[in-house]
């Protein structure tokens, strides 16, 4: 069983969290990566289903992570070679200290709603809908929404500058930013708001949630890159 999850929440005493989460995962024989920063947690773990669920249950018993939902997928083999619990400056690097998702999220749109908007060609107020891929170019090459904007990013920290160059053309449109699991869009949507885009959204749960809720059809093209040994997943969450 494979799980992926994140939460933007203020954390202190990071070495204490690091030691506790590492010990719990080691004790259950899990592999993968957990990133910790003062802004929150980002994790990708795999192992036998019972052990993965037990680790996640233990994590959720801590108040900062209560109710944390993980995206689940399945593979015949554990797609990680080792276990790492690391302390980072950001759980997703953007180099924009003023962007603090834990202080308040930008609006989000559910997968089913986005699918309906794309099918009808506009949002519920009649505005044109644009999907904006916030991922790096090699990820976009594997698959993306049909007609999505791609700014050919080499790294996520390039997003604010790219937005500054294109914001004017997006002001009268509904813009839905998307990424693999939602974490990049948490920051991207806030930056879009700060740039004056009044109708900026993030895709709730990212591409993986969209696959889970809609099977990707009919608007997704190709596969979705994941950062483990599986490489990428199809719209049915299969390697």
| Active-site residue list | 179
3-state secondary structure the chain: CEEEEEEECCCCCHHHHHHHHHHHHHHCCCEEEEEEECCEEEEEEECCHHHHHHHHHHHHCCHHHCCCCCEEECCCCCCCCCEEEEECCCCCCCCCCCCCHHHCCCCEECHHHHHHHHHHCCCCCCCCEEEEECCEHHHHHHEEECCCEECCECCHHHHHHHHHHHHHHHCCCEEEEECCCCHHHHHHHHHHHHCCCCCEEEECCHHHHHHHHHCCCCCEEECEECCCCCCEECCCCCC
């Amino acid at each position: 069983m494979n799980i992926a999850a994140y939460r933007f929440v203020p954390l202190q005493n990071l070495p204490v969290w690091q030691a506790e989460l590492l010990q719990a995962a080691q004790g259950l024989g899990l592999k993968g990566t957990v990133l910790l920063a003062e802004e929150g947690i980002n994790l990708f773990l795999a192992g036998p289903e019972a052990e993965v669920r037990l680790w996640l249950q233990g994590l959720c018993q801590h108040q900062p992570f209560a109710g944390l939902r993980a995206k689940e997928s399945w593979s015949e083999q554990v797609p990680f070679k080792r276990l790492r619990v690391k302390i980072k400056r950001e759980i997703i690097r953007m180099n924009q200290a003023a962007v603090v998702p834990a202080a308040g999220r930008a609006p989000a749109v559910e997968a089913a709603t986005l699918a309906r908007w794309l099918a009808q060609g506009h949002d519920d107020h009649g505005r044109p809908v644009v999907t904006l891929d916030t991922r790096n170019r090699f990820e976009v090459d594997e698959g993306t929404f049909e007609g999505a904007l791609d700014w050919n990013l080499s790294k996520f920290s390039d997003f604010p500058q790219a937005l500054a160059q294109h914001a004017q053309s997006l002001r009268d449109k509904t813009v839905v930013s998307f990424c693999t699991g939602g974490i990049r869009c948490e920051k991207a949507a806030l930056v879009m708001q700060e740039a004056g885009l009044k109708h900026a959204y993030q895709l709730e749960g990212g591409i993986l949630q969209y696959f889970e809720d809609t099977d990707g059809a009919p608007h997704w093209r190709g596969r979705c890159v994941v950062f483990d040994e599986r490489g990428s997943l199809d719209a049915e969450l299969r390697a």
